[in-house]
Structure formats: C-alpha cells, structure tokens
Amino acid sequence: MPRLPSAAASVRLIASDLDGTLLHHHQEVTPRTAAAIGAAFEAGLMMVAATGRQFSQLPEPVLASGIRYVVASNGAIGVDLADETVLFEELLAPSVAADIVAHLTAELEGVRFAAVRDSGARRAGEPGYLDLVGPAERAQWVELIAPASLADVVSQPTLKLTVRHPTLTADDLLAVLDASGLTGFHATTSGAPFLEIQGSGVTKASGVARLCALLGFEAGDVMAAGDARNDVELIAWAGFGVAMGNAVPQAIAAADWTTAHNEDDGLALAIEQVLAAIAVDQP
C-alpha cells in the first residue's frame, strides 16, 4: 500500500460510508472490520456512519458495531442513534422539487419520482414508481412507500427526492438533470439504481461538518472513507480522505490515500494504519 500522509496521525473521528465501504457483501460487517472499529473506540476515536440510506434502514451489523451517530440521506439529516434524536435536517424545497419533476418529465418518458418524508420514516411514491423497484430493494423497504399523486410527491419539503427510469441509469439521469440549468439542489449517485437529489449544498461533507461542529471536531480531525460519487465531497473535505479500492474514479481522485477493496477489508486496513500512525506519533 502507498505510504500514509502525515494527516493520518491527527485523526480523532472516522466518518465512513456504509455500502461498498464498511459493509461487505450481503450487508455484513466482517470480523476484521468489527475488530478495527472496536480498536478505534478503545483508542478514543469516534466513529460516524455517513450514508445515503435513511437512519431507520441501517443494517443490524452497523447498529451492533457501537456507532452512535449517523449522517443519513446524503448529509440531509444527523441522528443520535442512542435515542434516535434528530440533531439537524436540511430539506429540499417543494418549488425546487416541482421544477426538477417538470423538467425530467418533459425530457424523459417513463421517469418516476418518490420523496422521503418524516425524517426518513416513509416515502411518497408516484404511480409506477414501485414498478421500477427491484426485488432486493422491495424486500427491504417497500412497505415504507405510500402511493401518492405526483402533485403530492412535490407538495412538501423532502430530505431526498429519488428518480428512477425503466432503462436509464442513475448517472444517465444525473447528466440530463445537470444539463437542465436548474439550481437550488444537489444531485448525486451512490451506486443505487436511482438518482438522489437533496437541498442546495447538501452533501455528506456538509452533514458531517455540521455534526462535527456539534461534537467539537474540525475537518483536520476527520478520516473519511467511501467509494461512490456521493462520497466525493466528504473525502475531499476531510483532513484524511480515503477511497476504497472499489471506488469510482472521482472518489479516488479526491482521496489522499486509496485502500483495498471493501471485499478485502479495505476499511479495516485504513483504520489499522491510522491507529498505527497515531501510536507512532504519540510521545
């Protein structure tokens, strides 16, 4: 592996993406990763989950890992898992969502939308949205989607507007939206089969920065690890940014260091290396 930058020894908080980073296949936390997280806690470091998921959708292995704080919905909400206290929320305005829906509906036949509501507890999905949800996703959270008219989907502020299409990928949808000239939002992809749209300036970086301000940390104290486009801003913001070996090129370009693939315990390796650097740096 390449040599760690000196910033690794200054880490006091680890902000990790979940899917493709902390989680192994089948949404597992491997024994090595669990041990590395435990060692980080023993060394006095804090661990934060930074995810595109809603906090109510965290897999049991993540909840069992001891992680207390989560920045969910790509930075739009921060939650203390100890008692599920919502620490902050940043919502997408209905008028902005309506403009996005109008543009994409005019441009793309078959496009469908859903909005995340009630701090991530439920979604409002327009007719046809559920038809585009695959079996694996359907098994996880289909019961959280309430059928709604398209007008209702955009009638309230939302943590995240999601966009699906029968044939276009999330990156294809992002390119169409980027070309629209519309403003007032931040759109991204996470490797999931849908486009994800939050409020203006809302990213995992903005969410983790806001949580850090509440907890008394600065960017220079943070190691951030991720693999997808929605991790790029966080990786670039952190004092020590880590891209997974399976990361998209944009995440690797933003990172200070690239670790192994998530299937090869890349996050555990990064945490182990940071703890070693901290130990060497201590008098």
Question: Per-residue pLDDT averaged across 125-145, rounded?
Answer: 82
Could you say which of 171, 199, 227 is where a domain stops?
199
Residue 191 shares a structural domain with residue 161: yes
The answer to whether residue 211 sits within a structural domain is yes
**Any idea what the CATH number is for the domain that residue 71 is in?**
3.40.50.1000
**Any idea what the CATH number is for the domain that residue 103 is in?**
3.30.1240.10
Q: Is the pLDDT of residue 138 over 90?
A: no
77-80 sheet: strands from edge to edge: 85-89, 77-80, 69-72, 46-50, 13-16, 222-226, 240-243, 257-258
CB 13 within 8 A of CB 237: no
Nearest to 235 by CA among 219, 212, 215, 213: 219
Could you say which of 154, 179, 199 is where a domain stops?
199
Residue 111 shares a structural domain with residue 195: yes
pLDDT in tens, 77-104: 999 999 999 999 999 999 999 999 999 9
Mark 220-250 as b/e (b = at least 16 C-beta within 10 Å): ebbbbbbbbbbbbbbbbbbbbbbbbbbbbee
CA separation for the pair 120, 150 (Å, rounded)? 19
Could you say which of 169, 199, 229 is where a domain stops?
199
CA distances from 247 to 1, 21, 98, 260 (A): 16, 9, 32, 10
Residue 209 shares a structural domain with residue 81: yes
Degrees to nearest 5, angle at CA 45 with 44 and 49: 145
How much is the pLDDT for 283? 62
Number of domains in the chain: 2
Cβ-based burial of 18 (10 A; exposed 0-12, middle 13-18, buried ≥19): buried
CA separation for the pair 165, 114 (Å, rounded)? 12
Question: Per-residue pLDDT averaged across 228-242, rounded?
Answer: 98
The answer to whether residue 1 sits within a structural domain is no
The answer to whether residue 232 sits within a structural domain is yes
Phi/psi at 273 (5° precision): -65, -40
Residue 110 shares a structural domain with residue 157: yes
Residue 165 shares a structural domain with residue 193: yes
DSSP H stretches of helix in 91-185: 94-107, 135-141, 150-153, 170-178
Residue 108 shares a structural domain with residue 39: no
Q: Where residue 27 falls among pLDDT bands split at 50, 70, 90?
A: confident
Residue 207 shares a structural domain with residue 70: yes
Residue 83 shares a structural domain with residue 209: yes
pLDDT in tens, 160-178: 999 999 999 999 999 999 9
Residue 162 shares a structural domain with residue 207: no
Question: Per-residue pLDDT averaged across 139-156, rounded?
Answer: 86
Nearest to 97 by CA among 4, 215, 185: 185
Among 71-75, 137-141, 182-186, 220-224, the least confident range: 137-141
Q: Is the pLDDT of residue 140 over 80?
A: no
Q: Which residues lie below 8 Å from residue 86, measured CB to CB, with a gap of 6+?
A: 77, 78, 79, 119
Question: Per-residue pLDDT averaged across 132-149, rounded?
Answer: 79
CA separation for the pair 87, 79 (Å, rounded)? 5
The answer to whether residue 55 sits within a structural domain is yes
pTM for the structure as a whole = 0.96
Question: Per-residue pLDDT averaged across 120-129, rounded?
Answer: 93
Residue 19 shares a structural domain with residue 66: yes
The answer to whether residue 259 sits within a structural domain is yes
Q: Is the pLDDT of residue 220 over 70?
A: yes
pLDDT in tens, 30-82: 999 999 999 999 999 999 999 999 998 899 999 999 999 999 999 999 999 99
Nearest to 122 by CA among 54, 168, 61: 54
Q: Is the pLDDT of residue 141 over 90?
A: no
Nearest to 220 by CA among 13, 22, 34: 13
The answer to whether residue 223 sits within a structural domain is yes
Q: Which domain holds residue 144?
A: 94-199
Q: Where residue 134 falls among pLDDT bands split at 50, 70, 90?
A: confident
How much is the pLDDT for 144? 77
Residue 30 shares a structural domain with residue 71: yes
CA distances from 174 to 148, 180, 187, 190 (A): 24, 10, 7, 11
The answer to whether residue 78 sits within a structural domain is yes
Nearest to 163 by CA among 187, 138, 140: 187
Question: Per-residue pLDDT averaged across 113-140, rounded?
Answer: 89
The answer to whether residue 81 sits within a structural domain is yes
Mean per-residue pLDDT of the chain: 95
Residue 76 shares a structural domain with residue 124: no
CB 100 within 8 A of CB 197: yes
Phi/psi at 271 (5° precision): -65, -45
